[in-house]
Amino acid sequence: MDIYETWGSKMKNNWTSKITGTVLVKVTGIGPERYLNDCMRKGIPLKDIKKVGEQCILFKIELRDLNRLRKIPRKKIYKVEFLSRKGFPFQFKRALKHIGFVMGIITFISLLFILSNMIWKIEIVGASPSVEYKVIKELNSMGIKRGVSQYSIPKLQEIQKNLQDKIPSITWIGVKLYGTTFHFQVVEKKLPKPDPILKPQHIVAKEKAIVTWMYVEKGKPLVMINDYVHKGQILVSGLLGTEENPIPIPAVGEIRGEVWREEYVAVPIHTNFQLLTGKTKRNYFMRIGKMEIKYWGFDKNTFKRYKDEKQEYQIKFLKWKLPIYLAKNSQFESKEVIRTYTKEEAKEVALKIGRKDVMKDLDKDAKILSEKVLHESIDNGKVDIRIFYKINEVISQPQTIVQGD
Amino acid sequence: MDLPPDVLLELPRITMIGQIHIYIENHRGLLVYSDKELRLLLKNGQLLIKGKDFVLKTMLPEEILLEGVIEHVYFVNE
């Protein structure tokens, strides 16, 4: 077994010799085997011994054994030559000749090493701009900014603790270092918004209405459901206490009421339309100043009716805009269509338009309770309609109590 | 004490792997070497190896590893 082990160790020598370096030796003379025996007696390991012809032997030795080989007395019958040198020490010597190249590689690797150990980006996620500014300021005071070496910064846990301690408006901050990027995940404290501080106020009616629904949170209600109210009438008073000694408070509440509107709508019976047929022609050209060069779409425009559309794109070079434009001219074929309503259809459309119009200047939660056509006539090819609406909407509106009255 | 005979009698220990390798320990020097023949001196007599494409892979004091196509191994006792 030990044989194979020693054998194995020799195999290992094979690749270690690449690092230590080997020398190819040529021995010529009568009976070169004697030279090999001399080496053997000196204990110099030889490798890859080849006999070339009758009086010539080639073999390899390790670089470190070269001096011992030189000590073997050269009998005159031998000629010992050192041919080629292989392995790292020799490659290194050769590499020194191309010093610029080697320096380049070393500089590149060291630069890459230095740059990859710096901080190049700081990302802050989840913070409002003001908190983000605070975090950045705090990081700068800790010495964390762009272009700083990663060795000079404190530990991640320390950064996290520091930030959490110093910025009270954050609940938690996650600190992660991805390569050269610092990633901060901020969770802000959500403080409830304080209620707006109300001044003493009444609640008055926005317009004349019949009260249909009341909700009073604060204040003294002065009206009841089904009361008719004028515009500006106080619905909920903000003055509590006795008449001689009133205590002004902000009245809060919501009052809905039934209000009235009138709309006038005119719908023409015949309407002309331009409809697009879907057929298009496109011309592409380049424009330099006033000169236009067409490069695509040479069909002549054969459409009787059409819509023109022009799109231009100015060509940019880096940050400069060039006076060259790429333009696209499109012609969409259109046709004229006459739409005709019957009287009933026109009325239907008018009612729809009326509903839309009346809702335009009302709140979103307003509801049309009922509508009634007051007047209807056909005049000049148009259907004229006057409509009356009953609407349920919020009629309350705050009014500040002027102090000192 | 049972020492192996190669240590006791200073005999060569020869290991062969098929025809391609032969490994000899306890030799006393190289007499003739070419790509067809290797003659080693032993304590008693000589060892003659014949074959083709011989290369001495390693040569250490008292150890030799020969590579090639080994055809004959003779002990020459004179």
Q: Is the pLDDT of residue A33 over 70?
A: yes
Residues A34 and A82 occupy one common structural domain: yes
Q: Tell me which of B16, B58, B63, B66 to substitute to probe the interface with A (most A C-beta atoms closer than 10 Å).
A: B58
How many CA atoms does the CB half-sphere of A362 hold within 13 Å?
Answer: 24
Check CB contact under 8 Å for A40 and B23. Answer: no
What tokens were used for A64?
A: 């470190």
Mutate to test the interface with A, among B3, B23, B24, B59 (most CBs of A within 10 A): B59
Q: Which of A178, A160, A163 is nearest to A123 (CA)?
A: A178
Nearest CA in chain B to A45: B60
Question: Would you say residue A100 lies in a domain?
Answer: no
Q: What is the pLDDT of residue A17?
A: 65
Neighbours of A93 (CB within 10 A): 11
Local confidence band at A143 (pLDDT 50, 70, 90 cut-offs): confident
Confidence band (pLDDT; 50, 70, 90) for A106?
Answer: very high
pLDDT over 80 (residue A215) = yes
Q: How far apart are CA B48 and CA B77, in angstroms?
A: 11
Is A46–B61 a contact, with Cβ atoms under 8 angstroms apart?
Answer: no
Reported as a pLDDT band with limits 50, 70 and 90, residue A11 is very low
Judge whether A7 is closer than 8 Å to chain B, CB to CB.
Answer: yes
Residue that terminates a domain, selected from A87, A112, A132: A87
Domain boundary (A312, A337, A362) is at A337
Express each pLDDT in A251-301 by its tens digit.
888 889 999 988 888 888 888 888 888 888 888 888 887 888 888 777 777
Q: Is position A277 within any domain?
A: yes
* Distance (Å, whole) CA A100 – CA A274: 76
Interface contact A50-B55, CB threshold 8 A: yes
Pairwise CA distance, residues A32 & A58, whole Å: 10
Question: Is A363 found in the same domain as A330?
Answer: no
Interchain CB distance below 8 Å, B55 and A33:
no
Pinpoint the alpha helices (H) of A21-98: 33-42, 66-71, 88-97
A8/A40 same-domain check? yes
A 52-81 residues inside an 8 A Cβ radius of B: 54, 57, 59
Give alpha helix (H) positions in B1-78: 5-8
DSSP E strand boundaries for A163-233: 170-178, 181-188, 201-205, 209-218, 220-221, 228-229
Examine the pLDDT at A2 and tell me if it is beyond 70: no
Domain contains A177: yes
Q: What is the pLDDT of residue A135?
A: 87
Residue A192 main-chain phi, psi, to 5 deg: -65, 145
The mean-pLDDT minimum among A16-30, A155-169, A224-238 falls in A16-30
Interface residues of B toward A, Cβ cutoff 8 Å, are: 13, 15, 23, 25, 29-35, 54-63, 65
Tell me, yes or no, whether A364 lies in a domain: yes
For A36, the closest of B34, B59, B65 (CB atoms) is B59
**Domain identity same for A67 and A13:** yes
3-state secondary structure of A91: helix
Q: Closest partner residue to A33 among B33, B60, B65, by Cβ?
A: B33
- Distance, in Å, from the CA atom of B4 to the CA atom of B10, rounded to the nearest integer, reads 10
Q: Which domain holds residue A177?
A: 121-188
**DSSP states along A283-336:** EEEEEETTEEEEEE-------SSEEEEEEEEEEEETTEEEEEEEEEEEEEEEEE
Nearest to A37 among B30, B55, B63 (CB): B30
Contact A325, A312 (CB under 8 A): yes
Convert the pLDDT of each residue in B59-74 to its tens digit. Answer: 888 889 999 999 999 9
Residue whose token pair is 């049309």:
A368
Question: According to the model, what pLDDT value does residue B73 have?
Answer: 93
Residues of chain B by 3-state class (helix, strand, coil), percent to 5: 5, 60, 35
Percent of chain A with pLDDT over 90: 4
Which two tokens mark A245? 């000694």
The per-residue pLDDT for A1 is 35
- Residue-wise DSSP of A168-179: TTEEEEEEEEET
pLDDT interval class at B18 (50, 70, 90): very high
pLDDT over threshold 50, residue A344: yes
**Coil vs helix vs strand at A48:** strand
For residue A189, the model assigns a pLDDT of 80
**For tokens 């109210």, what's the residue?**
A229
Beta-bridge partners for A27: A57, A80
Distance from the Cα of A20 to chain B's closest Cα (Å) equals 17
Asked if A39's CB is within 8 angstroms of B59's CB, the reply is: yes
List chain A residues with CB under 8 Å of B56. 46, 48-50, 59
For A363-394, the pLDDT digits (tens) are 888 888 888 888 888 888 888 889 999 999 88
pLDDT of residue A110: 92
Q: Which residues contact A140 (CB under 8 A, 6 or more apart)?
A: none
- Indicate whether B8 pLDDT > 80: no
Q: The pTM is what?
A: 0.38
CB contacts of A43 in chain B (<8 Å) are 60-61
Residue A196 placed within a domain: no
Minimal-distance CA residue of chain A relative to B28: A37
**Contact: A41, B32; criterion CB under 8 Å:** no
Residues A291 and A319 in one domain: yes
| pLDDT at residue A4, as a whole number | 43
CB-nearest to B61 from A13, A40, A47 is A40
Higher pLDDT, B38 or A273: B38
At B40, give phi and psi (nearest 5°): -115, 150
In a domain, A129, yes or no: yes
Same domain, A74 and A15: yes
Q: Residue A255 in contact with residue A289, Cβ under 8 Å?
A: no
B37-41 vs B30-33, strand pairing mode? antiparallel
Last residue within a domain, chosen from A314, A337, A360? A337
Sort strands A121-125 and A181-188 into parallel, antiparallel or unpaired.
parallel
DSSP code of residue A341: -
Average pLDDT of chain A to the nearest whole number: 83
The count of other CB atoms within 10 Å of the CB of residue A237 is: 19
Q: Is residue A139 part of a domain?
A: yes
- Answer yes or no: do A165 and A211 share one domain: no
Residues A292 and A328 in one domain: yes
Tokens representing A125 are: 């996620």
Whether A232 is in a domain gets the answer yes
**What span, in angstroms and rounded, lies between the C-alpha atoms of A383 and A388?**
16
Is the confidence metric ipTM above 0.95 for this complex? no
pLDDT of residue A7: 46
CB nearest to B23's CB, from A3, A43, A48 = A3
Domain containing residue A40: CATH number: 3.30.70.2280
Asked which of A2-6, A34-38, A225-229, A249-253 is least confident by mean pLDDT, the reply is A2-6
Percent of chain A with pLDDT over 70: 94
CB contact under 8 A, B57 and A47: yes
Same-domain pairing of A294 and A237: no
Give residue A301's Cα distance to chain centre. Answer: 45
Span A40-56, mean pLDDT? 85
Give residue A176's identity as a one-letter amino acid code: K
A6, A48, A54 member nearest B57 (Cβ)? A48
> What's the residue count for chain A?
405
pLDDT computed for residue A8 by the predictor: 43
A333 and A345 part of one domain: no
Confidence band for B48, pLDDT divided at 50, 70 and 90: very high
- In terms of DSSP H, where are the helices of A47-176? 66-71, 88-97, 99-115, 129-142, 156-166
The answer to whether residue A185 scores a pLDDT higher than 80 is: yes
Token pair, residue B46, equals: 């000589």
Which of B15, B29, B58 lies nearest to residue A10, judging by beta carbons? Answer: B58
pLDDT at B3 > cutoff 80: no
Structural domains in chain A (count): 5
Q: Which residues of B touch A39 (CB under 8 A)?
A: 59
Residues A127, A180, single domain; the answer is: yes
Closest residue on chain A to B39 (Cα): A33
